[in-house]
Amino acid sequence: MYKKIFTILIVTAVTVAACKKDPDLVGPKDQYSTGNYPASIADLESVLAPCYSNLRDQHLFGFNYLTKMMANATHAGSAAYSDPDWLGFIDVSNMQPANGFVAGVWQALYAGVKNCNVALAGADFFEKNGAKEADKPKINFIRGQAYFMRAYYYFQLENLYGEDYKVGPSATDTLGVPLFKGLPAGFESTQQPRAHINAVWALIESDLLEAAKLLKGKVWTGNDVGRVTEWAAKGLLGKAYVFRKDWAKAKPVLKDVIDNSGKTLMPYAKYRDAFIGISANEFNEESLFELNIDQDSKGGYGVYSGAANATSINGLIFPPYALGLNGKEESSLPLGYGGNIGMHDKNILRYGYTEGTYTLVTNPNFNSSKDPSYSNPEKVMDPVYKAKALAVRTNKTADPRLYVNTLQPWLDSVKRDGTNWYPVARPSYIMGDANLNQQLGWSFRKYAPIFNDINNVGPADAANIYILRMADVYLLYAEACANSAEATTALEYINKVKRRAYGLPVNTASGVDYASLTAETMAKKASDPVLGNNPLYYERWAELFNEAQWWFDICRWHLGASEAAYYVTARALNGTPFKWADKAYSWPIPITELNSNPKMAGQQNPGY
């Protein structure tokens, strides 16, 4: 996304404006005329902008997708809500075609497709009607960006709604998603049946190849630094090839990105703080494509404010908890909306932390001449436990990425009031629970507010969201090599990612290296029967945790049942075990789409 994306005023619909002066006969003022627009590069940039800004839709990275949907479906979080929309992702066996979140993502992704088609049509129009010769390279750069964005939207659509990951597919289980390659000429063409899986992937791949060609050699600077590049296109193309198990095509494309993009893994010191809204870490040496987030709610409720380019509000759902003003955990305060979703304990265990929870003891430094407070609590973490917990960090006996993704009570702190640092505490909602000793109470750190209570500034996130980064590319390349009888190369690229996590030189063999593709991982400590002896699986989970990536891996590797068994249950289920249904490897086509599109009659995904 543009680093400072300009205000979006262009809407999605296109109309032919009448050449009449009577105000009652003039076309809508919030739509533009295909007869005279776009008439400049600036106009065309305005048409391109919604291709990017759509990613911040409330149903995508603006709010629902990362927090309510992906965090629950992958069990990164454990949510409290049991209404049908939430429950469909807390326990995906309950997912239904009427699920509002499912419908929202479908609509938002297709809005993105449509925005890209509008931009491509605008590029064609301007090139034929008034563009100067000097404009043509800029037009092609705009086309390249639009092709990438259209491919990304279809990549998401196909992986979520296509039949790609059905278990034991029959010869007829090949339905993808409807394809729109241009602007509909009339109502009839706005309704399309589901295309064949191969046709959808062919469009994704051809769009990315075209994007890479049109953007070749282009380097964005200044406020444009967040735009799509040739290397973003090649990175996503390699990912598409891996997801299609086309190892022969995947390897050279991904290796090209690794060798020639100028991108690499950022050092651990930067990586540690790359997801919490520090502007100096944005658009760094590892980032291939990221969604820019400005901490500006435009005076309203984030994406629901009605203001263009309002910030995302994911942090409202992911807030850490600060020790209460009275110094008590039962009065702990969230830096957003509390109680929606908390870190699932099983993630702490999977990262290799085995110290369990702690007890509170009398604070030897309590100043009785002052009132108890967050800085003068009467009770503190047991110092024996604290020493053990600190030793885990120092000795790295748990995966250091645990501390990238989470905040540990009493050992970590947050700037709740924007000025003073408060100890992180267990969430107040678990304090009266009879199973307290089994609830670790850690908080989210990745994409969570750290430096202020976002309720107090008008709900506003600060952290950019990574769409594609080099750690993903390294692991995709490792997967392609592992499936091409190149185990040594595969292992080396898995180990590169792991070495960075431990703050070690990426390209030098180390004591933390996996010795084989079946070596023990940190998940072995949690008695995880699947990730415990699969470094590729574990590294993708550990590295890309809570980045809306792991769900695709669950689906393409058919890990749904084993993940449900590992995580056992969630808060909303009140101890009832997760149930897994293979239908969930493909989300249902929204019932609203099926009811409004007769060409999709009988094309619902199996099991719904």
Q: How many CB atoms lie within 10 A of CB 148?
A: 28
Q: What percent of the chain has pLDDT over 90?
A: 85
Contact (Cβ atoms closer than 8 angstroms) between residue 250 and residue 480: yes
Reported as a pLDDT band with limits 50, 70 and 90, residue 9 is: very low
33-52 average pLDDT score: 91
pLDDT at 16: 26
Q: What value does the CA radius of gyration of the chain take, rounded to a whole number of Å?
A: 25
d(CA 608, CA 604): 7
Q: Is the pLDDT of residue 22 over 60?
A: no
Q: Is the pLDDT of residue 449 over 50?
A: yes
d(CA 49, CA 487): 43
Lowest mean pLDDT among 32-41, 154-163, 496-505: 32-41
Contacts of 202 (CB under 8 A, 6+ apart): none
Q: H or E stretch including 51?
A: helix 41-53
pLDDT at 411: 98
Residue whose C-alpha is closest to residue 585's, from 230, 215, 92: 92
d(CA 117, CA 350): 43
d(CA 573, CA 584): 18
Q: Pinpoint the alpha helices (H) of 341-469.
A: 345-350, 383-395, 402-405
Tokens of residue 117, six digits: 């088609």
d(CA 142, CA 514): 43
Tokens of residue 552, six digits: 């695709």
pLDDT at 118: 97
Tens digit of pLDDT for each residue in 391-415? Answer: 999 999 999 999 999 999 999 999 9
Tens digit of pLDDT for each residue in 333-379? Answer: 999 998 889 999 999 999 999 999 999 999 999 999 999 999 999 99
Q: Is the pLDDT of residue 26 over 60?
A: no
Look over the chain and give the mean of its residue pLDDT values, rounded to a whole number: 92
Q: Is the pLDDT of residue 5 over 50?
A: no
Contact (Cβ atoms closer than 8 angstroms) between residue 207 and residue 133: no
pLDDT at 15: 29
Lowest mean pLDDT among 22-26, 75-79, 417-421: 22-26
Q: Is the pLDDT of residue 560 over 80?
A: yes
Q: Which of 435 and 305 is assigned the larger pLDDT?
A: 305
d(CA 139, CA 230): 15
Q: Is the pLDDT of residue 434 over 60?
A: no
d(CA 33, CA 16): 5
Terminal Cα-to-Cα distance of the chain (whole angstroms): 36
Contacts of 21 (CB under 8 A, 6+ apart): none
Contact (Cβ atoms closer than 8 angstroms) between residue 266 and residue 286: yes
Highest mean pLDDT among 257-266, 293-302, 332-341: 257-266
Q: Is the pLDDT of residue 69 over 50?
A: yes
**DSSP category for residue 75:** T
253-269 average pLDDT score: 98
Q: Which of 14 and 125 is assigned the larger pLDDT?
A: 125
Q: Is the pLDDT of residue 73 over 60?
A: yes
529-539 average pLDDT score: 98
d(CA 448, CA 71): 13
Q: What is the pTM of this model?
A: 0.94
Q: Is the pLDDT of residue 437 over 50?
A: no
Contact (Cβ atoms closer than 8 angstroms) between residue 177 and residue 161: yes
d(CA 344, CA 334): 17
d(CA 224, CA 45): 12
Q: Which of 186 and 230 is assigned the larger pLDDT?
A: 230
Q: What percent of the chain has pLDDT over 70?
A: 93
**DSSP category for residue 239:** H
Q: Is the pLDDT of residue 12 over 70?
A: no
Reported as a pLDDT band with limits 50, 70 and 90, residue 308 is: low
d(CA 57, CA 310): 10
322 bridge partner residues:
333, 424
Strand-pair category, 413-414 with 465-469: unpaired
Reported as a pLDDT band with limits 50, 70 and 90, residue 149 is: very high
* Inter-residue long-range contacts of 431-434, CB under 8 Å, 24+ positions, other chains counted: 431/329, 431/330, 431/332, 432/330
Q: Is the pLDDT of residue 147 over 50?
A: yes
Measured CA distances, 435 to 382, 572, 577 (Å): 19, 15, 16
Q: Is the pLDDT of residue 424 over 70?
A: yes
- Domains of the chain plus CATH, in order, are 40-211+546-608 (1.25.40.390), 314-462 (no CATH)
